[in-house]
């Protein structure tokens, strides 16, 4: 059984669950075979994230897992335009140029309200349904491709660029994408499955881009999430529990929600639209038939229900463009170390200093000549405690080439602890190797 990333959920009752990594269900209407039950449960549990930090869940998690010092979830605006670095690669704006929401229907008389929105949800769904794909992620095990999960994706260009969540693809090496094409005159849907290439991922924003070799696909029109208002109707389309092209409807329950876990902090749309395992990477549509969010989380809480979240499409656009153009998000600052975060409780138990204990230093980056050494424990960055402050805010305001003052505790030759301030030039994060 593939263990994936089994997170310790502790005793907290409030959880965020990535709704997108479930063992694929057979596409036919037949009940799934029971032989995959254990793998399915493991895949679902692997997506459970507990909100916590400090001496609680977050601290315990980080104390036992190395963390790369890529911090800061915002991308500094270091570019004057969105010209891609790869020659011949179009920008997202160029891909979207000319894409409109088609007025497909089994009849010719699609009705719209006076504000231009669809009168009936069925007409909207018919117009956009083929822009949502079924993604299966596999890993090579003993020379064979072993499925480890399935979720959703959004076609954003006619030639096969697809956006999904990072957590949908991060544990896989082999990806397949099932694309539907519906003839609304006859009601017949044909499907074709493609091998997909991973263009780039961004764990900080939980976004990833895949590419399939195809033409004339039904691409979704990306809307403007800044136009959303509380109470607006929205529709989610995805593949929950393997039930392909499932539709759910709700409203905008909240805007600019800060959704955090031990890996990232996102500004998200909150919706009461039912979101379930397998919806990850699918679309949240407005009533114009435009994508306003990329579905990525749900809240699992004994005192709450119907709390789903989606990454705002406006914040996603720059990230998507960078992933297509470069394979990573440009302009993001990095220290260039791997560390273990040790909270106060763990430090007392182990006899260590609480903070970030440096485990590895990237010898190709300026940090290697800064004076920082493996074994140092970072306690402050620019005067702010790494355990008590939101250090990501420090780095979100920095760009590669800027300098930070890192305060460490290290042992002297006599075995005594001493504090040392070190100036470190920040480097650019260029994605996971």
pLDDT category at 53 given cuts 50, 70, 90 is very low
Give the contacts of 403 (CB within 8 A, at least 6 positions apart). 423, 424, 425, 426
The helix (H) or strand (E) run that includes residue 317 is helix 313-325
Q: What is the rounded CA–CA span in Å between residue 39 and residue 313?
A: 32
Question: Active-site residue among 206, 318, 322, 376?
Answer: 206
Q: Which of 190, 239, 236, 179 is nearest to 26 (CA)?
A: 239
Q: What is the pLDDT of residues 398-418, one digit of tens each?
A: 899 999 999 999 987 777 889
pLDDT given at position 34 = 33
Length of the chain: 433
Q: What is the pTM of this model?
A: 0.74
Grade residue 97 by pLDDT with cuts at 50, 70 and 90. Answer: confident
Closest by CA to 175, choosing from 166, 184, 183, is: 166
3-state secondary structure of 200: strand
Per-position b or e across 136-162, b if 16+ CB within 10 A of its CB: bbbbeeeeebebbbbbbbbbbbbebbb
Q: Kindly tell me if the per-residue pLDDT of 228 is higher than 90.
A: yes
Q: Which of 131, 138, 167, 376 is catalytic?
A: 167
What is the DSSP secondary-structure string of 123-141? HHHHHHGGGEEEEEEEEEE
User: How many other CB atoms sit within 10 Å of the CB of residue 330?
Assistant: 20
pLDDT tens for each residue of 386-401: 988 777 777 878 899 9
Catalytic status, residue 36: no
**What does the mean pLDDT of the chain come to?**
78
User: For tokens 């011949």, what's the residue?
Assistant: 88
Residue 110, pLDDT score: 85
Quote the pLDDT of residue 315: 92
User: Which positions ≥6 away from 135 have C-beta within 8 Å?
Assistant: 150, 151, 152, 153, 162, 164, 168, 169, 175, 176, 177, 178, 196, 210, 281
What's the pLDDT at 433?
Answer: 58
Q: Phi and psi of 42, rounded to 5°?
A: -60, -40
pLDDT at 267: 84
Closest listed residue to residue 102, CA positions, set 289, 293, 245, 238: 289
Distance CA 426, CA 396 (A): 12
Which residues face 361 on adjacent strands? 337
Query: Per the residue annotation, which of 138, 225, 246, 280 is the catalytic one?
Result: 280
Strand partners, 332: none
Q: Cβ-count burial of 363 within 10 angstroms (0-12 exposed, 13-18 middle, 19+ buried)?
A: exposed
Separation of alpha carbons 71 and 154, rounded Å: 27
User: Does the CA dihedral 240-290-191-321 come out positive or negative?
Assistant: negative
184 band by pLDDT with thresholds 50, 70 and 90: confident
Percent of the chain with pLDDT over 70: 75
Does the annotation mark 206 as catalytic? Answer: yes
Domains of the chain, earliest start first: 15-52+223-317 (2.40.10.10), 92-102+117-222+319-325 (2.40.10.10), 332-428 (2.30.42.10)
Q: Cα 257 vs. chain centroid, distance in angstroms? A: 15
């Amino acid at each position: 059984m593939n263990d994936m990333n089994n997170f310790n959920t502790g005793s907290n009752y409030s959880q965020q669950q990535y709704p997108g990594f479930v063992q694929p269900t057979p596409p036919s209407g037949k009940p799934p075979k029971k032989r995959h039950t254990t793998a399915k449960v493991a895949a679902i549990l692997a997506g459970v994230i507990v909100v916590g930090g400090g001496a609680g869940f977050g601290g315990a998690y980080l104390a036992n897992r190395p963390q790369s010092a890529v911090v800061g979830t915002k991308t500094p605006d270091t570019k004057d335009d969105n010209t891609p670095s790869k020659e011949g690669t179009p920008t997202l704006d160029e891909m979207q140029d000319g894409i409109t929401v088609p007025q497909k229907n089994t009849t010719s008389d699609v009705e719209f309200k006076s504000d231009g929105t669809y009168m009936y949800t069925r007409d909207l769904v018919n117009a956009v349904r083929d822009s949502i794909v079924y993604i299966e992620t596999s890993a090579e095990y003993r020379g064979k491709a072993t499925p480890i999960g399935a979720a959703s994706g959004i076609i954003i260009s006619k030639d096969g660029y697809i956006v999904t969540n990072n957590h949908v693809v991060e544990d896989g090496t082999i990806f397949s994408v099932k694309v539907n094409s519906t003839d609304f005159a006859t009601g017949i849907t044909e499907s074709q499955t493609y091998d997909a290439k991973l263009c780039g991922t961004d764990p900080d924003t939980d976004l990833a881009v895949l590419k399939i070799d195809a033409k004339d696909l039904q691409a979704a029109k990306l809307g403007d999430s800044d136009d959303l208002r509380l109470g607006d109707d929205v529709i989610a389309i995805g593949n929950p529990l393997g039930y392909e092209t499932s539709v759910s409807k709700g409203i905008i329950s909240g805007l600019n929600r800060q959704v955090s876990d031990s890996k990232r902090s996102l500004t998200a749309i909150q919706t009461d639209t039912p979101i379930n395992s397998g919806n990850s990477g699918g679309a949240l549509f407005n009533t114009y038939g435009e994508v306003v969010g990329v579905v990525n989380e749900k809240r699992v809480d004994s005192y709450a229900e119907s709390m789903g979240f989606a990454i705002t499409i406006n914040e996603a656009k720059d990230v998507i463009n960078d992933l297509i153009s470069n394979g990573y998000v440009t302009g993001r600052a990095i220290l260039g170390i791997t560390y273990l975060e040790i909270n106060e409780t763990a430090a007392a138990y182990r006899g260590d200093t609480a903070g970030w204990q440096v485990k590895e230093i990237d010898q190709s980056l300026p940090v290697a000549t800064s004076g920082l050494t493996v074994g140092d424990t970072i306690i402050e960055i620019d005067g702010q405690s790494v355990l008590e402050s939101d250090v990501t805010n420090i780095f979100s305001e920095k760009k590669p080439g800027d300098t930070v003052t890192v305060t460490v505790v290290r042992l002297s030759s006599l075995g005594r602890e001493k504090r040392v301030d070190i100036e470190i030039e920040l480097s650019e994060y260029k994605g996971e190797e």
